[in-house]
């Protein structure tokens, strides 16, 4: 059951695993991005074995918007995001990598894009497009290869599906299929569900602390089976679209209409 808290406009989910040194600076940036707003930050610690848990515990004492979930067994980034999503109170969900390379100050632009485009029942996700990526040449090359595969096999036209900063409605996020590594394919999954994906330019910067958890070769080999699985989903799943509950007309209005009809 989700915790009962004051209403929040947006929940920011930050999955982390061994990100000691990056915790408090990123939390402070998120708080600055949403100053004066009703928001919550949910960190999901995926069984870290460094000082991540200690840094999160220290931040809990001074940041009232912060909530911390912890996996007792390592489950991966997608599972961590899912754990946070199920506990989130906001109608909008923001997702942010915990390594500090994405900039929380970009959240308002993503949020505004979602709100402006969400009309007539349209389901919208705003996803970042990194400008001047601060990554090594090998990672950039691997990203170009992954982009080509997604575009060729999944018809994913989003130019930066690997970008970790996104905003979308909680109701839409909950309807997406969950599987390991699903966070890498969210643009394709949103479109498969009848949604719209908006690309928003965002900043990118080098890591402050820690090291990347992804090895390029391992990611490539795992990605092949992921792509095959997503192809299966895209071919077989219906585009459900938005679902709205139809409410009965209040009795008082019905009587008023009946009287007018009799006159």
Structure tokens at 90: 């906001």
This prediction has a pTM of: 0.77
The per-residue pLDDT for 189 is: 86
Q: Of 120, 226, 122, nearest to 168 (Cα)? A: 122
The CATH class that applies to domain 10-262 reads: alpha beta
State whether residue 74 is helix, strand or coil.
Answer: coil
Mean pLDDT by 10 residues, the chain (263 residues): 69 97 97 97 97 97 97 94 97 96 96 93 91 58 54 60 90 88 84 88 86 55 60 61 74 58 56
Is residue 67 within 8 A of residue 42, CB to CB? The reply is yes
Write the DSSP string, 103-129.
Answer: -GGGHHHHHHHHHHH--TT--EEEEEE
CA gap 98, 222 in Å, rounded:
22
C-alpha torsion 255→256→259→263, nearest 10:
-160
Q: What is the 3-state secondary structure (H, E, C) of 136-174?
A: CHHHHHHHHHHHHHHHHHHCCCCCCCCCCCEEEEHHHHH
Taking phi first (over 0 means left), then psi (-120 to 50 degrees means alpha), and beta for anything else, what does residue 61 get?
alpha
**Residue ranges of domains in the chain:** 10-262
The per-residue pLDDT for 1 is: 46
The per-residue pLDDT for 243 is: 65
* Residue 256 burial (C-beta neighbours within 10 Å; 0-12, 13-18, 19+): exposed
């Amino acid at each position: 059951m989700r915790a009962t808290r004051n209403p929040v406009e947006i929940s920011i989910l930050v999955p982390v695993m061994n990100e000691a040194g990056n915790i408090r600076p990123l939390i402070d940036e998120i708080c600055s991005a949403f100053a004066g707003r009703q928001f919550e930050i949910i960190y999901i610690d995926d069984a870290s074995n460094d000082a991540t848990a200690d840094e999160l515990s220290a931040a809990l004492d001074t940041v009232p918007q912060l909530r911390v979930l912890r996996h007792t067994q390592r489950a991966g980034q997608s599972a961590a995001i899912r754990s946070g999503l199920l506990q989130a109170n906001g109608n909008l969900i923001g997702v942010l990598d915990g390594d500090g390379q994405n900039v929380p100050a970009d959240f308002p632009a993503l949020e505004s894009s979602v709100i402006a485009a969400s009309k007539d029942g349209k389901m919208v996700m705003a996803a970042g497009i990194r400008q001047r990526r601060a990554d090594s040449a090998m990672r950039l090359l691997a990203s170009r290869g992954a982009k080509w595969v997604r575009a060729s096999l999944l018809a994913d036209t989003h130019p930066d599906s690997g970008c970790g900063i996104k905003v979308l409605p909680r109701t839409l996020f909950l309807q997406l299929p969950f599987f390991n590594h699903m966070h890498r394919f969210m643009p394709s999954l949103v479109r498969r569900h009848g949604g719209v994906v908006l690309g928003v330019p965002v900043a990118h910067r080098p890591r402050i602390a820690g090291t990347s958890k992804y090895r390029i070769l391992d990611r490539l080999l795992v990605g092949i089976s992921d792509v095959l699985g997503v192809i299966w989903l895209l071919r077989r799943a219906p585009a459900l679209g938005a679902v709205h509950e139809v409410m009965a007309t209040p009795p008082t209005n019905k009587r008023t209409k009946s009287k007018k009809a009799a006159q």
